[in-house]
Amino acid sequence: MQDSDEEEEKMTPVEKKMWEKIEEILKSHYLSAFQALAAKKFIKDKVGNKECHEVDRLREWLFMKVNGRKLPEKYHPR
């Protein structure tokens, strides 16, 4: 758990707020603790990496969810 504590100390207040919102989103999907941990690692490794274009749609969806918005009903991803 020491690594987790060190990472939290390095985060800015904006990053902390963003991760709090992401955790709320994960809780709203009823993920177990292990699933939430895996999802957070995936978000850090893939979604947080601007060079990874495999997850562009997920990145856009997560960004909208964090900001309290929903995708339009007639959303067509590219």
Number of domains in the chain: 1
The Cβ-side half-sphere exposure at 5, using a 13 Å CA radius, reads 2
What single-letter DSSP state applies at residue 45?
Answer: I
Domain membership flag for residue 10: yes
- Supply the pTM of this predicted model: 0.74
Which residues form the domain of 52?
2-66
* Residues 9-66 pLDDT 10s: 788 999 999 999 999 999 999 999 999 999 999 999 999 999 999 998 889 889 989 9
Nearest C-alpha neighbor of 62 from the set 78, 39, 30: 39
Nearest C-alpha neighbor of 40 from the set 60, 55, 25: 25
Domain membership flag for residue 71: no
